């Protein structure tokens, strides 16, 4: 690489003494980058097993599983622990349940909206397509707080109080964009002739959709569902503004993390579980994408 | 299965952007005919096919199939089946389901579908491939699946959009014979779109030569090849030598044309009048070294041995001439500067109105 510099002109070239090769530099950078990304996660995982609150890895007090056991330990054990007894377990579990409920509604809604948008944008040939594309995708680009606030104001004017419903509505507006992009990418690779051939053989448009388009989209639908689910579960800012008095898993963790005395290591335990689930989901997604490629 | 006739009654097709893909066209394709529409890409032949199959409505005029006006009928309501250029086999369905898809759309039970699919797969010699996926078949086999799938709906008219263009040469030649045989066996009207004159000439009962949205000539392969009616038809189908000039005199269906290479007499089917700008066309095999009614002198520049015959390339006053002769040992040798006498009979040469020509191979290659 560095040889290129002195072949360019005849002028003398000043060269730094070579301490490290270009490849070595790249390797160093890569490792530094990975460390920057993953060391905080590693610390979080380690501290989730350390018997000290607030969480620490330097102040090691022995291995414990109680930050995990918090979720299922008997009431007496809970009350006996000086850290855990300050936490409202029922509320925490309830908020998690809310998140699952919200995701269970947001995923099918955003799949349906995304599918409709993807079919429209890939199969409807019009000059309005470009405009429509930006209109449908703009919620993804809009700041989350704007979406949350606008859902709050819109539904409030209609007499709907902020709560789980407004969370679902606010999340769906931008999460629907993910399935749309994923499904569009897939649909664009399906030759239009396949649908034309089916029509030509006498199939109704509905049969074409059911027998050709839907089976073709199945793997993409599955991966879009996984991504929509994760986006819904982890969403904080939009949800924060749309939630009213309700809570979700993400907003509750947010509330606990704002504790001025440092957050309880339970959050680290939850984070570790989320990492495991995410890695599993990413693995699943890879498998599905591989299958889709066939 | 019985073929039906197809009539285009002053059909013209203009796209929303104002481009006229098909100028007003009258065309009658007989029932049970193997009819080819031959033309360069972009000439409007696929547009005609899509108008017959129902994917586009003509801007003007009517499409009739078996005498019935097809206006307002979509592709799923017409007695046609289309074989796409890329075949458009359904990749996720096994071969037999592909073939039976049209029957499924008609609400026929699975048992009957499977049986019918088997018959059709037998017809195209794929009887034992029904459970494979299309991706597991070879190009030629996929081709035959597409044919079986189209025949399954018992169309009166089968429309084929350059279905052989993706195959390699040997297979393409084999499939020509096979398509022709299937057409004879079923009696279905075939409308075959191609830019390959070899395909059109070998398979078709009749051919329409098309250029720039206009059908220039309709006729049998022999007619198109030997009696072209326009400069484009003459230059698009097969190799041909061309001399530009002006009609001097006319008599008894022939005319005399003045060209930079001399005066020649040839047939005058378009009844050009003296003074008209004209082109004289002579096939390479109609031009022979030696004596004949029309004579000219040219210098041999290149001699390509094809085996049974020779392609000779002459040059006369800047005009390139191509001559095909059988390899009988009497063909002229490359000999430097000597002029060779070439000749052709008036019967085998034709004078046509000057007009646009098909692009030559070197022009296409330069694109």
Domain match, B195 and B268 both:
no
Cross-chain Cβ contact B55/A193 below 8 Å? no
Residue A94 forms part of a structural domain = yes
Q: To the nearest whole angstrom, how far is the Cα of B183 from the nearest Cα of chain A?
A: 19
What is residue A53's predicted lDDT score, i.e. its pLDDT?
A: 80
Residue A212 in contact with partner chain B when CB distance is under 8 A: yes
Cross-chain Cβ contact B101/A198 below 8 Å? yes
B141 touches B126 (CB < 8 A): yes
pTM greater than 0.90 (yes/no): no
Domain match, B195 and B243 both:
no
Task: Please tell me which of the candidates A194, A200, A211 has its beta carbon nearest to residue B81.
Answer: A200
pLDDT at A4 over 90: no
Residue A196 in contact with partner chain B when CB distance is under 8 A: yes
Is B291 buried (19+), middle (13-18) or exposed (0-12) by CB count in 10 A? exposed
The residues that bridge with A65 in the sheet, in sequence order, are none
Cross-chain Cβ contact A203/B86 below 8 Å? no
Beta-carbon count within 10 A of B156 CB: 21
Number of compact structural domains in chain B: 2
Listed in sequence order, the residues at least 6 apart from B52 whose beta carbon sits closer than 8 Å to its beta carbon are B6, B8, B63, B65, B70, B78, B80, B157, B159, B191
Residue in B31, B28, B33, B27 with CA at minimum distance from that of residue B4: B31
What is residue A10's predicted lDDT score, i.e. its pLDDT?
A: 57
B30 touches B79 (CB < 8 A): no
Residue B11 forms part of a structural domain = yes
According to DSSP, the β-strands at B288-289 and B319-326 are unpaired
Phi, psi of B150 (to 5 degrees): -70, -35
What is residue B336's predicted lDDT score, i.e. its pLDDT?
A: 65
Residue B1 forms part of a structural domain = no
Residue A260 forms part of a structural domain = yes
Residue in B140, B95, B101 with CA at minimum distance from that of residue B121: B95
Which tokens hold the place of B305? 């041995």
Is A200 buried (19+), middle (13-18) or exposed (0-12) by CB count in 10 A? buried
Domain match, B184 and B157 both:
yes
What is residue B367's predicted lDDT score, i.e. its pLDDT?
A: 60
Q: To the nearest whole angstrom, how far is the Cα of A240 from the nearest Cα of chain B?
A: 44
Q: Average of pLDDT values for A77-102?
A: 88
Q: Average of pLDDT values for A258-274?
A: 86
What is residue A133's predicted lDDT score, i.e. its pLDDT?
A: 86
The residues that bridge with A56 in the sheet, in sequence order, are none
- Burial of A225-264, coded b for 16+ CB within 10 Å and e otherwise, reads bbbbbbbbbbbebbbbbbbbebbbbbbbbbebeeeeeebb
Give the span between the Cα atoms of A99 and A107, in whole angstroms: 12
Percent of chain A past pLDDT 70, that is, above it, reads 93
Domain match, B162 and B308 both:
no
Cross-chain Cβ contact A193/B84 below 8 Å? yes
Cross-chain Cβ contact A196/B84 below 8 Å? yes
Residue A209 in contact with partner chain B when CB distance is under 8 A: no
Give the span between the Cα atoms of A212 and A194, in whole angstroms: 8
Domain match, B168 and B252 both:
no
Q: Which of A123, A190, A193, A197 has the highest number of chain B CBs within 10 A, making it the mutation to test binding with B?
A: A197
Q: Which of B54, B83, B90 has the highest number of chain A CBs within 10 A, making it the mutation to test binding with A?
A: B90
Q: Cβ contacts (< 8 Å) between B75 and chain A: which residues?
A: 196, 199-200
Give the span between the Cα atoms of B154 and A220, in whole angstroms: 36
Task: Please tell me which of the candidates B74, B85, B153 has its beta carbon nearest to residue A201.
Answer: B153
Domain match, B180 and B261 both:
no
Residue in A239, A242, A106, A124 with CA at minimum distance from that of residue A178: A106
Give the end of a domain, one of B196, B226, B256: B226
Cross-chain Cβ contact B84/A212 below 8 Å? no
SS3 B254: strand
Give the end of a domain, one of B203, B226, B249: B226
Q: What is the tens place of the pLDDT at every residue in A5-57? A: 444 555 666 666 677 788 889 999 999 999 999 999 999 999 999 888 888 88
B199 touches B176 (CB < 8 A): yes
Residues in chain B, total = 367
SS3 B155: coil
Domain match, B318 and B302 both:
yes
Q: What are the CA-CA distances from residue A273 to residues A68, A280, B10 (Å)?
A: 9, 11, 72
Q: Average of pLDDT values for A198-207?
A: 91
pLDDT at A165 over 70: yes
pLDDT at A1 over 70: no
Which tokens hold the place of A231? 């986006």
Average pLDDT, chain A: 87
Residue B54 forms part of a structural domain = yes
Q: Cβ contacts (< 8 Å) between A202 and chain B: which residues?
A: 76, 102, 105-106, 153
Which tokens hold the place of A206? 């509905």
CATH of the domain at B258: 2.40.50.100
Listed in sequence order, the residues at least 6 apart from B362 whose beta carbon sits closer than 8 Å to its beta carbon are none
Cross-chain Cβ contact A201/B84 below 8 Å? no
Grade residue A62 by pLDDT with cuts at 50, 70 and 90: confident
Residue B171 forms part of a structural domain = yes
Which tokens hold the place of A217? 């989209």
Cross-chain Cβ contact B74/A199 below 8 Å? yes
Cross-chain Cβ contact A201/B88 below 8 Å? no
Q: Which domain holds residue B17?
A: 6-226
Residue A171 forms part of a structural domain = yes
Residue A109 forms part of a structural domain = yes
Domain match, B179 and B314 both:
no
Closest chain A residue to B56 measured between Cα atoms? A196
Grade residue A98 by pLDDT with cuts at 50, 70 and 90: very high
Give the span between the Cα atoms of A187 and A179, in whole angstroms: 12
Q: Which domain holds residue A256?
A: 89-293
Q: What is the tens place of the pLDDT at every residue in B147-198? A: 999 999 889 999 999 888 877 888 888 888 888 988 998 899 999 999 988 8
Number of compact structural domains in chain A: 1
Task: Please tell me which of the candidates A194, A202, A204 has its beta carbon nearest to residue B88.
Answer: A194
| Dihedral angle sign, alpha carbons of residues B18, B19, B21, B27 | positive
pLDDT at A282 over 70: yes
Domain match, B253 and B200 both:
no
Terminal Cα distance for chain A, rounded: 39
Q: To the nearest whole angstrom, how far is the Cα of A7 from the nearest Cα of chain B?
A: 37
- B8, containing H or E segment: strand B6-14
Place of tokens 């000059």: A127
Cross-chain Cβ contact B149/A201 below 8 Å? yes
Q: Cβ contacts (< 8 Å) between B104 and chain A: which residues?
A: 203, 211
Residue A22 forms part of a structural domain = no
A178 touches A227 (CB < 8 A): yes
Cross-chain Cβ contact A197/B105 below 8 Å? no
What is residue A216's predicted lDDT score, i.e. its pLDDT?
A: 92
Domain match, B211 and B360 both:
no
Domain match, B199 and B337 both:
no
Phi, psi of A247 (to 5 degrees): -135, 155
CATH of the domain at B162: 3.40.50.300
Q: Cβ contacts (< 8 Å) between B51 and chain A: which residues?
A: none
Q: What are the CA-CA distances from residue B355 to residues B232, B266, B280 (Å)?
A: 7, 18, 11
Q: To the nearest whole angstrom, how far is the Cα of A293 from the nearest Cα of chain B?
A: 12
The residues that bridge with B193 in the sheet, in sequence order, are B37, B161
Q: Cβ contacts (< 8 Å) between B150 and chain A: which residues?
A: 201
Q: Average of pLDDT values for A67-85?
A: 86
How many inter-chain contacts (A to B, CB under 8 Å) are there?
A: 63
Cross-chain Cβ contact B76/A201 below 8 Å? yes
B335 touches B283 (CB < 8 A): no
Give the end of a domain, one of B164, B192, B226: B226
CATH of the domain at A166: 1.10.3720.10
Residue A203 in contact with partner chain B when CB distance is under 8 A: yes
Residue A74 in contact with partner chain B when CB distance is under 8 A: no
Residue A8 forms part of a structural domain = no
Domain match, B191 and B277 both:
no
According to DSSP, the β-strands at B206-211 and B34-38 are parallel
Residue A12 forms part of a structural domain = no
Residue ranges of chain B whose CB lies within 8 Å of a chain A CB: 53-55, 74-76, 80-82, 84-86, 88, 90-93, 101-102, 104-106, 149-150, 152-153
Q: Cβ contacts (< 8 Å) between A200 and chain B: which residues?
A: 53-55, 75-76, 80-82
Phi, psi of B277 (to 5 degrees): -65, 130
Residue B266 forms part of a structural domain = yes
Residue B141 forms part of a structural domain = yes
Cross-chain Cβ contact A212/B105 below 8 Å? no
Task: Please tell me which of the candidates A200, A211, A212 has its beta carbon nearest to residue B82.
Answer: A200
What is residue B250's predicted lDDT score, i.e. its pLDDT?
A: 92
> For chain B (length 367 residues), average pLDDT per consecutive 10?
87 89 92 94 90 92 93 90 91 94 91 93 88 91 91 92 84 86 91 91 94 93 93 91 92 91 92 92 89 86 88 88 87 74 91 86 67
């Amino acid at each position: 690489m560095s040889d290129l510099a002195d072949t360019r002109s005849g002028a003398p070239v000043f060269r730094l003494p070579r301490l490290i090769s270009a490849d070595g530099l790249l390797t160093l950078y890569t490792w530094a980058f990975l460390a920057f990304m993953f060391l905080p996660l590693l610390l979080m995982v380690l501290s989730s097993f350390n018997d000290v609150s607030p969480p620490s890895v330097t102040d090691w007090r022995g291995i414990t599983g109680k930050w995990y056991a918090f979720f299922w330990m008997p009431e007496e054990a809970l009350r006996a622990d000086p850290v855990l007894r300050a936490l409202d377990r029922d509320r925490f579990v309830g908020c998690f349940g809310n998140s699952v409920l919200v995701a269970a509604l947001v995923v099918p809604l955003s799949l349906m909206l995304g599918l409709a948008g993807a079919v429209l944008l890939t199969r409807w040939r019009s000059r309005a397509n470009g405009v429509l594309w930006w209109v449908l995708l703009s919620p993804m680009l809009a700041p989350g707080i704007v979406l949350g606030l606008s859902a709050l104001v819109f539904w409030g004017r209609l007499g709907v109080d902020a709560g789980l419903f407004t969370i679902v509505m606010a999340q769906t507006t931008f999460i629907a964009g993910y399935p749309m992009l994923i499904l569009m990418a897939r649909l664009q690779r399906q030759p239009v002739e396949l649908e034309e051939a089916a029509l030509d053989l006498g199939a109704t448009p509905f049969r074409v959709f059911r027998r050709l388009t839907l089976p073709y989209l199945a793997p993409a639908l599955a991966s879009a569902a996984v991504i929509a689910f994760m986006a819904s579960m982890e969403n904080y800012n939009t949800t924060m503004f749309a939630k009213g008095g309700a809570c979700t898993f993400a907003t509750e963790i947010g509330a606990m993390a704002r504790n001025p005395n440092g957050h309880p290591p339970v959050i680290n335990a939850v984070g570790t579980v989320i990492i495991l689930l995410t890695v599993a989901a990413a693995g699943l997604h890879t498998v599905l994408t591989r299958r889709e490629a066939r | 299965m019985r073929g039906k006739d197809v009539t285009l009654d002053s059909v013209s097709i203009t796209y929303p952007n104002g481009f006229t893909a098909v100028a007003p066209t009258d065309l009658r394709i007989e029932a049970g005919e193997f009819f080819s529409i031959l033309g360069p890409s972009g000439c409007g032949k696929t547009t005609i096919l899509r108008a017959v199959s129902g994917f586009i409505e003509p801007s003007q005029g009517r499409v009739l199939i078996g005498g019935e006006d097809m206006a307002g009928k979509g592709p799923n309501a017409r007695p046609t089946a289309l074989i796409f250029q890329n075949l458009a086999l359904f990749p996720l369905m096994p071969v037999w389901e592909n073939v039976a898809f049209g029957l499924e759309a008609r609400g026929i039970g699975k048992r009957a579908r499977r049986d019918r699919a088997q018959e059709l797969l037998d017809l195209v010699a794929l009887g034992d491939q029904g459970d494979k996926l299309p991706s597991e078949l070879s190009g030629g086999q996929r081709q035959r699946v597409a044919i079986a799938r189209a025949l399954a709906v018992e169309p009166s008219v089968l429309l084929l959009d350059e279905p052989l263009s993706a195959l390699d040469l040997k297979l393409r030649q084999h499939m020509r014979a096979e398509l022709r045989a299937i057409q004879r066996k079923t009696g279905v009207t075939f409308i075959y779109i191609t830019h390959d004159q070899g395909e059109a000439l070998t398979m078709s009962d009749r051919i329409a030569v098309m250029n720039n949205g206009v059908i220039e000539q309709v006729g049998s392969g022999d007619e198109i090849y030997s009696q072209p009616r326009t400069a484009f038809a003459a230059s698009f189908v097969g190799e041909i030598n061309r001399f530009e000039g002006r009609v001097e005199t006319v008599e008894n269906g022939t005319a005399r044309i003045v060209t930079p290479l001399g005066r020649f007499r040839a047939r005058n089917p378009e009844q050009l009048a003296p003074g008209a700008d004209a082109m004289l066309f002579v096939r390479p095999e109609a031009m022979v070294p030696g004596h004949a009614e029309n004579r000219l002198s040219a210098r041999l520049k290149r001699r390509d041995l094809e085996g049974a015959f020779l392609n000779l390339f002459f040059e006369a006053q800047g005009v390139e001439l191509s001559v095909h002769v059988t390899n009988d040992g009497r063909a002229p040798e490359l000999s430097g500067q000597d002029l060779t006498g070439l000749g052709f009979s008036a019967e085998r040469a034709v004078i046509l109105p000057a007009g646009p020509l098909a692009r030559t191979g070197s022009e296409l290659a330069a694109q």
